[in-house]
Chains A and B, each alone.
Chain A
Amino acid sequence: MSDKQIGREIGQALGANLTRRSLFALGGAAAVTGALAACGSNTGREPAATGGGASGGSGVTLNQWYHQYGEAGTQQAVEKYAAAYKDATVKVSWKPGDYDQSTAASLLTDAGPDVFEYGNGPTIDMIKGGQVVDLTDLIGDTKSDFNPSILERMTYQGKTYAVPQVVDMQLLVYRKSMLDKAGIQPPQTIDELIAAAKKLTQGNVKGLFLGNDGGAGLMGGPMLWSAGLDYLTKDNQFGFDDPRAATALGKLREMWDAKVLLLGAPKDWFDASALTSGLTAMQFTGLWTFPDIKKGLGDDFGVLPWPALDSSGKASVPVGAYGSCVSAKSKDVEAAKKFVKWLWIDQTQDQLDFATSYGFHIPSRTSLISQASTLKSGQAADAAKLATDVGHAQSPILWTPKCATAFGDAMNRIVKEGADPAGEIAKVKAVADPELKRVLA
């Protein structure tokens, strides 16, 4: 008996009358289902059934999902864009919290979205599992106008599966006055950064804020790049089985041990408040916080890339973009694609508004960057220049969520527990090698 049948029976039993017997049957059925479900194959991932693109026109309702942006007004903005769309009713869902996981999970069910954003485009598993739709034809001629490295990140085997919405970047922000007072020049290497953080740590003010986990979650990539390495090599092999990687990751532990890192701040790295309320002198954060920093500190801040480990490494700023994707389980894939094209390709004014009116982002269309007045002067202009000069895509598409989890766990052990970096890297490699083999097959 499948659990679907059992479910139907229970439904009828409950609908008919709440007799004691049927309720007891419910308990029994739950137990049976449990045992059955435990014997089922792992995920029951079925090849996604493509929705029948029959109807179209005004009768269609599309569900569009966003993660919760922290900046005030963003939600109203996306609702406004959606309301202006004529060819379908678009229902915007604003999803705070565990967005990546819950969205990935819901793509497998019928309760998922039609159109959704996903960090740096869909995962390789979503693409290979046929859960998302090929959007190459939507982009068409505009391809050359998109930031190339971002678009490439959303492309697999020549097909593009997401339309980049806006480019986000992370960078090092420092309080000018605090550095001046301590007589410190903006640091250019990791060792200079550590020395500066030590000098700036005084009383209840810490030198540097890399997130409440000491940078374990955030700084893995930037540390590899600062050593001149990357997650994967050019030919898609494991990229940081190298003593320099161990040295670089060990530097985070050095900062942790020196007690110069701010830990346990009320709001994490993605919010400006640790910097503006004077808990830290330097913070790694996102360009999107600039309006808040400006409000709190005026002109008393400067920007830097994450510095190079040494002369043979590279400074960098991570850049990434939420990409708009279409679920293969959508009831009307064509209508969903049409809406994505309308909003994220045709409506350039909405795209500009979304990128610049709330938090600060960089438009993903290069032709729009020159129109973004917010990025023309001051620290935001410096930041935009960093993104162009030393911007580095966050992680490659073949770096699967499983690899990311293994790397995150290793970073946690290196930074928080002082585990041996070389040994931890070997553990990540043991997970990543078979994963790479799987996705490259």
Chain B
Amino acid sequence: MEKERVFVVVLGKDQKGIIAQVSGLLFKHGANIEDVQQKVMDGTFVMTMLADITESASGSAGLRRALDELAESLGLKVMLHNEAVIKAMHRI
């Protein structure tokens, strides 16, 4: 079975516990985190997580809804992209 991997992108003001809360949510939804990066860009905190959701019962739709709720409670923005989109746009 081909792996389904997604990038979770979190943007906003840096604050305590972002990585912990997003990681916890991904764990709860059966996703396996394969990579984490973070950086402050143009004054904005940006974190990306690459997660394998092949075995997640929630799928990308369920995960997105849960992430949206979490992001709203933290005053952050979150995006979720299939790895294929990033690969298509940034690699020849």
Partners in one complex: no
* Chain A interface residues toward B at CB < 8 A: none
